[in-house]
Structure 1
Amino acid sequence: MNRFHVHLNVADLDASIRFYSELFAAQPAVLKPDYAKWMLDDPRVNFAISATGRAPGIDHLGFQVADAEGLAALGRRLDAAGGTVVPEEATVCCYAQSDKLWTEDPQGTRWETFHTTGEATTYHAGEAACATDGASCSPDVAAIKPRPAGTTSCCSPQSGCC
């Protein structure tokens, strides 16, 4: 089953966790020093927040799919919608391992479609290896090219984050 995904950048993670925990009547399913995620069933949504230095507000929207076939099906829909689709295979992002497809709508809103394959111990793969602005898990789709197969960072070398 697919799940709608919303990721917000927040200025005060603790205050935001308190607010959203009360709003959703649930504690986060994932809680890290810079990140929290609620996997809600009513409404069915993957709602994430992070404090990584980006401007507060909506970072990106998306769909979390249950399997590789669901990701391929949504990829075909993204292609049909006409935007540039940037694949990321076997990426580490938001404390998870995932295969992803990124695009932007005509207004520039970033959309992430992904299939989570496991957990990770870091926010993104490049955390220890390179200085970033914390944005590599939600790239500027217009500025990047697909990563070479076999790389594991959640941003492409062409994006300038690593």
Structure 2
Amino acid sequence: MKRFHIHLAVDDLDRNIGFYSTLFGCEPTVRHHDYAKWMLDDPRVNFAISNRSAKLGLDHLGIQAEDGDELQEIKQRLDATQGRIETQEQAACCYMRSDKYWITDPQGIAWESFHSLSEIPTFNDQKAPSDGENPFACRPSESKASSCCGG
């Protein structure tokens, strides 16, 4: 069964963790110094926040597949939109390794369709922003100025 995904960029991670933990009635499923995620069953959503982006608010939306077959079913629907799709295999982002398909909707909102394969110990495979590297390499090429993730 698929899960809706929402990722928000926030300014104060701890304050937002407190707010969303109260709103959802539970603590995050995953928590790091720069990222938190709630895997909720009611409603069935993967809700993530991070403080890695200069632009606050909605970062991207998505659909998380339970397995590779379900991801391919989503990919067929993406193909039918005739939009530009970016494929990322074994992408490292948001402390997970995932296969992904990115597309941008007519309003310019990035949509991530993904199947998470395994946990990883880092946010992504890039160096920290202070090292001068782009920390958002998991985003589609047309949206790299923003943040990343799925997980």
TM-score (norm 1): 0.83
Aligned residue in 2 for 1:80: 80
Amino acid at match of 1:11: D
Aligned residue in 1 for 2:89: 89
Separation (CA, whole Å) in 2 of partners of 1:74 and 1:105: 15
Amino acid at match of 1:119: E
Contact 1:62 1:113 in 2 (8 A): yes
Aligned residue in 2 for 1:147: none
Q: After alignment, is 102-111 or 121-130 more displaced?
A: 121-130
Q: CA RMSD in A?
A: 1.9
Q: State the Cα deviation string for residues 101-131 of structure 1 (Å, max 9, x = none).
A: 0000011100000000000100011136963
Separation (CA, whole Å) in 2 of partners of 1:64 and 1:139: 16
Shift of 1:133: 4.5
Change (3 A) 1:141 1:75: farther
Q: After alignment, is 122-131 or 107-116 more displaced?
A: 122-131
Q: How does 1:37-116 map to 2 (within 5 A)?
A: 37-116=37-116
Amino acid at match of 2:63: F
Change (3 A) 1:108 1:124: same
Aligned residue in 2 for 1:132: 133
Q: How does 1:12-27 map to 2 (within 5 A)?
A: 12-27=12-27
Contact 1:59 1:138 in 2 (8 A): no
Amino acid at match of 1:6: I
Separation (CA, whole Å) in 1 of partners of 2:51 and 2:140: 16
User: Which segments of 5 or more consecutive residues in structure 1 lack a partner in the other structure?
Assistant: 144-153, 155-162
Q: State the Cα deviation string for residues 58-99 of structure 1 (Å, max 9, x = none).
A: 000000001111111111101101211100001110000100
Q: State the Cα deviation string for residues 119-148 of structure 1 (Å, max 9, x = none).
A: 0100011136963353323334467xxxxx
Separation (CA, whole Å) in 1 of partners of 2:86 and 2:66: 20
Separation (CA, whole Å) in 2 of partners of 1:141 and 1:85: 11
Amino acid at match of 1:138: R
TM-score (norm 2): 0.89
User: Which segments of 5 or more consecutive residues in structure 2 lack a partner in the other structure?
Assistant: none
Shift of 1:20: 0.3
Amino acid at match of 1:137: C
Q: Secondary structure at the match of 2:58?
A: strand
Amino acid at match of 1:87: T
